[in-house]
Amino acid sequence: MPRFGRVLTAMVTPFGPDGALDLDGAAALARWLVDNGNDGVVVAGTTGEAPTLSKEEHLLLIQAVRAAVPDAVVVAGAGSNDTRHAIAMTETVTDIGVDAVLSVGPYYNRPPQAGIEAHFRAIAAATDLPIVIYDVPGRTGRRFDHDVLVRLFTEVPNCVAFKDATGDPAGAARLLAAVPDLELYSGDDALTLPLLAVGAVGVIGVSSHWAAPELAEMVAAVEKGDLAHARTVNARLQPSFRYANSETCVFSQSAKAMMNVLGVEVGECRLPLGPAPDGTGARAREVLEALRG
């Protein structure tokens, strides 16, 4: 078993009708996710609308989730494009007692590779917790260089896992060949099977809000060498992957609509995302029907 498990959800952040942070809703959601096939949760990440949370909300959210699922893995988002702020957040979430820190690449300012490497080294030096480095160049504007990652994962003891949303399974295979003991997680639900095939240990997903059992089934099939069954499960998951993200309805919106359909009240997204488009709930029901009949 990988140290953080095989299937984790980058969970949405529940808000009330007035847009206020709903801590009771966050605790209930975390428990529901763990009870429905997840090994753990990632809190206050991109899907959790972290850029719209105040520092106080960010920390209260993590505390509430940690208390709600004491026996599950809780990974706390603590990234920033300001290294000093990322260090401060990392130090604070370390004191909360989470299992690991998710640290995304510096976004918007598009630093050079030397800056990216120095950024993660400084964050890792601020905590004794394991660090999950997150590369999502579609959001940050700068992909991490292969050699930078190799140095971080071989020279920095607590840089132990990689959330890969680069869309490049060949690049993942090259990285795993260079760092065979690296725990690499798919950060793109639709590419989970190709990444598993080259050595990923699991997925930090969004469709895992509602499809964690199927994703776990696919991971287990790959581990057993039953690629035919893994492909069958992957085919069953295709409507979920398509539903999760589009130009008109992004991850946080679609996941919240799905959870509301499932009776787990999480409210709507804050701006700039805003409420899910009309008809999203109906599409969510169609996805569930396609997934489980």
Tell me the per-residue pLDDT of 234-252, one tens digit each, with 9 for 90 and over: 999 999 999 999 999 999 9
Domain count of the fold of the chain: 1
Instruction: Assign 216 a pLDDT band (cuts: 50, 70, 90).
Output: very high
pLDDT of residue 103: 98
Domain with 189, as residue range(s), is 7-235
**Torsion, Cα of 154, 220, 193, 289 (10° steps):** -140
Q: What mean pLDDT comes out for the span 182-194? A: 98
Per-residue pLDDT at 101 exceeds 80: yes
Residue 158: burial class (beta carbons within 10 Å; 0-12, 13-18, 19+): middle
What tens digit of pLDDT does each residue of 112-143 get?
999 999 999 999 999 999 999 999 999 999 99
250-283 as b/e, with b when 16 or more CB fall inside 10 Å? Answer: bbbbbbbbbbbbbebbbbbbbeebeebeeebeeb
pLDDT of residue 218: 98
Q: What kind and span of H or E run contains 100?
A: strand 100-104
Per-residue pLDDT at 293 exceeds 80: no
Task: Identify whether 224 is part of a domain.
Answer: yes
Q: What kind and span of H or E run contains 40?
A: strand 40-43
Per-residue pLDDT at 41 exceeds 90: yes
Which residues are bridge partners to 135 per DSSP? 164
Task: Identify whether 69 is part of a domain.
Answer: yes
pLDDT of residue 75: 98
Q: What is the CATH number of the domain that holds 187?
A: 3.20.20.70
Task: Identify whether 283 is part of a domain.
Answer: no
What tens digit of pLDDT does each residue of 52-95 get?
999 999 999 999 999 999 999 999 999 999 999 999 999 999 99
Per-residue pLDDT at 217 exceeds 80: yes
pLDDT of residue 206: 98
pLDDT of residue 292: 83
pLDDT of residue 56: 97
Dist CA 60 CA 260 (whole Å): 22
Q: What mean pLDDT comes out for the span 252-274? A: 98
Per-residue pLDDT at 279 exceeds 80: yes
Task: Identify whether 134 is part of a domain.
Answer: yes
Task: Identify whether 287 is part of a domain.
Answer: no
Binding residues: 47, 204
Residue type, 184: L
Task: Identify whether 269 is part of a domain.
Answer: no
Residue 112: burial class (beta carbons within 10 Å; 0-12, 13-18, 19+): exposed
pLDDT of residue 1: 87
- Which residues are known catalytic residues? 134, 163
Q: Rounded to two decimals, what is the model's pTM?
A: 0.97
Q: Are 33 and 9 in contact (CB under 8 A)?
A: yes
Per-residue pLDDT at 13 exceeds 90: yes
Binding residues for pyruvate: 47, 204
Task: Identify whether 25 is part of a domain.
Answer: yes
Task: Identify whether 290 is part of a domain.
Answer: no
pLDDT of residue 193: 98
Per-residue pLDDT at 169 exceeds 80: yes
Residues 6 or more apart whose CB falls under 8 angstroms from that of 262 comprise: 210, 288
Q: What mean pLDDT comes out for the span 216-224? A: 98
pLDDT of residue 215: 98
Tokens, residue 208: 């895992």
Which three-class secondary structure state does DSSP give residue 155?
Answer: helix
CA 230 to chain centre: 21
Q: What mean pLDDT comes out for the span 31-39? A: 98
